[in-house]
Amino acid sequence: MNTPRMARLAAAMMVALAFGAQAEEVKKPSQPEINYQAGTSPLATEPMYQSSNPKAPPMTQAEFDKARKIYFERCAGCHGVLRKGATGKPLTPDITLSKGTDYLKVFIAYGSPAGMPNWMTSGEMSEADVDLMARYIQQDPPTPPEFGMEQMKSTWKVIVPPDKRPTKKLNNYNISNIFSTTLRDSGEVALIDGDTKQIINIIKTGYAVHISRLSASGRYLFVIGRDAKINMIDLWMEKPDNVAEIRVGLEARSVDTSKYKGYEDKLAIAGSYWPPQYTIMRGDTLEPLKIVSTRGMTVDKQEYHPEPRVASIVASHFKPEFVVNVKETGKTLLVDYSDINALKTTEIGTARFLHDGGLDSTHRYFMVAANQSNKIAAVDLKEGKLAALIDVGKIPHPGRGANFIHAKYGPVWSTGHLGDDSISLIGTDPVHHKAQAWKVVETIKSQGGGSLFIKSHPKSTHLYVDNPLNPDPAISHTVAVYDIKNLAKGFTVLPIADWTGIKDGGAMRVVQPEYNKAGDEVWFSVWSAKDKQSAIVVVDDKTLKLKAVIKDPRLITPTGHFNVFNTQNDIY
Evaluate the CA torsion angle 545, 548, 553, 559 in order and state its sign: negative
The CB density around residue 455, as the number of other CB atoms within 10 Å, is 27
Q: Which of 75, 125, 133, 281 is catalytic?
A: 75
Cα 368 to Cα 224: distance, rounded to the nearest angstrom: 20
Q: Which residues pair with 288 in a beta bridge?
A: 281
Residue 397 annotated in active site: yes
Strand, helix or coil for residue 429: coil
Query: Which one of 79, 433, 462, 477 is the catalytic residue?
Result: 79
Q: How far apart, in Å, are the Cα atoms of 324 and each of 26, 113, 122, 307?
A: 32, 34, 38, 15
Contact (Cβ atoms closer than 8 angstroms) between residue 234 and residue 220? yes
Residue in 116, 125, 133, 367 annotated catalytic: 116
Q: How far is CA 326 from CA 181, 192, 338, 397, in A?
A: 26, 33, 21, 16
Which is catalytic among the residues 210, 305, 363, 397?
397
Q: Confirm whether 317 is a catalytic residue.
A: no
**Rounded to the nearest 5°, which phi and psi values hold at 511?**
-140, 145
DSSP E strand stretches across 275-318: 277-282, 288-293, 296-297, 304-305, 310-315
Q: Is 433 a catalytic residue?
A: no
> What is the distance between the alpha carbons of residues 367 and 360, in angstroms, rounded to a whole number?
7
List the one residue out of 56, 279, 317 whose CA is nearest residue 149: 279
Give the containing element (helix H, strand E) for 359.
Answer: strand 354-359
355 annotated active-site: yes
Q: Give strand pairing partners of 274.
A: 251
How far is residue 569 CA from its own chain's centroid?
A: 20
Q: Which of 208, 249, 248 is nearest to 226 (CA)?
A: 208
DSSP secondary structure letters along 157-200:
EESS-GGGS-SS--S-S-GGGEEEEEEGGGTEEEEEETTT--EE
Of the candidates 78, 125, 281, 508, the residue annotated as catalytic is 78
Closest Cα to residue 350, out of 368, 367, 330, 334? 330
Q: Which of 210, 305, 317, 355 is catalytic?
A: 355
Catalytic residue set: 75, 78-79, 116, 355, 397
